Amino acid sequence: MTIQKRSASTRGWTVGRLPDLTGKTIVVTGGTSGIGKEAAREVARRGAHVVLPSITRAEGESAAAEIGGSTEVHEFDLTRLDAVRAFAADYTGPIDVLLDNAGLMSRTREVTADGFELHLGVNVLGPFLLTELLLPQIRERVVITASMAHTAGRIDFTDPHFRRRRYSMAAAYAQSKLGCMLWGLDLQNRLRAAGSVVDVQLAHPGFAATSILDPTPFPPVNRVLNRIGRGIIPTASDGARPLLYAATEPLPPASYIGPSGFRQIAGSPGPCERSAAAGDPELARRFREFAVSETGADPVV
Q: How far is CA 18 from the centre of its chain?
A: 19
Percent of the chain's residues with pLDDT above 90: 80
What is the per-residue pLDDT for 174?
A: 96
Lowest-confidence segment of 151-160, 167-176, 211-220 by average pLDDT: 211-220
pLDDT band (50, 70, 90) for residue 198? very high
Catalytic one among 91, 167, 173, 256?
A: 173
Cα–Cα distance between 106 and 129 in angstroms, integer?
22
As a whole number of angstroms, the distance between CA 266 and CA 259 comes to 5
CB neighbour list of residue 195: distance below 8 Å, 6 or more residues apart: none
* Burial environment of residue 2 by CB neighbours within 10 A (0 to 12, 13 to 18, 19 or more): exposed
Mean pLDDT of 260-280: 85
* pTM of structure: 0.88
- Whole-number percent of the chain with pLDDT over 70: 85
**Sorting pLDDT into bands at 50, 70 and 90, what band is 220?**
low
Q: Which domains does the chain have, with CATH numbers?
A: 3-295 (3.40.50.720)
DSSP state of 109: -
Confidence band of 263 (pLDDT split at 50, 70, 90): low
Give residue 211's pLDDT: 45
Q: Is the pLDDT of residue 207 over 80?
A: no
- Give the sheet arrangement for strand 256-259, strand by strand: 70-75, 49-54, 25-28, 95-100, 138-145, 199-203, 256-259, 269-271
Q: Which residues pair with 271 in a beta bridge?
A: 257
Residue 190 reports pLDDT greater than 50: yes
Residues 25 and 49: beta-carbon distance below 8 Å = yes
What DSSP character marks residue 117?
A: B
What are the CB-based long-range contacts (under 8 Å, 24+) for 295-298? 295/81, 295/125, 295/126, 295/128, 295/129, 296/81, 296/129, 297/128, 297/129, 297/132, 297/133, 298/132
> Under DSSP, is residue 41 helix (H, G, I), strand (E, B) or coil?
helix
Average pLDDT over residues 57-72: 97
Model confidence band, residue 5 (pLDDT cutoffs 50, 70, 90): very low
Q: Active-site residue 91, yes or no?
A: no
Residue 8 has pLDDT above 50, yes or no: no
